[in-house]
Homo-oligomer: A and B are copies of this chain.
């Protein structure tokens, strides 16, 4: 393995000149530049980036904290982050935490120990717990923010989007609208439930606690939670699911109980993962701008790493309400 000294010797210049030729070519004469480059080819030199990072005290890496990378929404955001990072010469360290706080901390430790320059968090932090564990000096932007999220963040208007969905269901004539939510304390659940309640209130429909089933954003939980609606004496005519995966699970359950979607019951999702378009019936849902979210979060983090000021701590991106085939007018029993 040849190093910069070998190149210098071969080229007949000093190591400083070689170093400059690589990182700041303008400061070097054309003659030296040529000598250096042919020397590099000759000895097969590859700069040791570990040494460079060490010396310049920057790792040019960011860690992405994600509860579950197999969630299609998350993987889309990550793809976008990676794309942007690559463009800017940064590496992405994957931190699939499976929701385990301990693993999250291990990854955050990597930036304390200089292996990464910052963090992008894809989990909405629960307000009380958040600030407590992000150490001093670790820069972090949350790419899945909520109204309660502190610090640099990008988010969509979850409440508004949820309200739009439920407003639409109400406009179709639905009055008994069930909910399959995420975990009770999850900020996304809180924001989206607020939107649901706002829509109800706007139409003078009383909030009925028994119409809210708690899931955890997995398909399996949607599948399960939907069961209780099937066996209700007074069944809801529509179900607002807080993500697409639960909606897909719910539809599965409804079908197996002999209910047709949307003729007997309407179902809506949230996220617009790619399967939302291909499931049967295709899903009425809220399209999150995954691409934009990732790109923006990465750009914000980069600015933070460079020590620059953020134009704004919070960036709220528009989400699009997409009407497909899983919603229709309520059945009249």
Contact = CB atoms under 8 A, between A and B. Distances in A.
A79 B86 contact: no
B96 A94 contact: no
A263 interface: no
Interface string A99-122: 000010010011011110000000
Interface in A16-67: 46-51, 53-54, 57, 59, 61, 64
B70 A82 contact: no
Contact of A275 (B94, B96, B223, B275): B275
A116 to B, nearest CB: 8
Contacts of A249: 278
Interface string A191-226: 000000000000000000000000000010001000
Contact of A113 (B49, B75, B109, B279): B49
B86 A248 contact: no
A332 interface: no
A180 interface: no
Main SS of the interface on chain A? helix
B78 A69 contact: yes
Nearest to A109: B46
Nearest to A103: B86
Interface string A280-297: 100000000000000000
Contacts of A280: 252, 255, 279-280
A92 interface: yes
A305 interface: no
Nearest to A78: B69
Interface of A: 46-51, 53-54, 57, 59, 61, 64, 68-70, 72, 75-76, 78-79, 82-83, 86, 91-96, 103, 106, 109-110, 112-115, 219, 223, 248-249, 252, 255, 274-275, 278-280
Given A46-B113, A47-B113, 15 more contacts: A50-B50, A50-B54, A51-B54, A51-B114, A53-B115, A64-B94, A70-B72, A83-B96, A86-B103, A86-B106, A91-B115, A92-B93, A92-B94, A248-B275, A248-B278
27 contacts: A46-B113, A48-B54, A48-B114, A49-B113, A50-B113, A50-B114, A53-B54, A53-B115, A54-B54, A64-B94, A68-B79, A69-B79, A69-B82, A70-B75, A70-B76, A79-B96, A82-B94, A82-B95, A82-B96, A86-B103, A92-B93, A94-B94, A219-B275, A219-B278, A278-B279, A279-B279, A280-B280
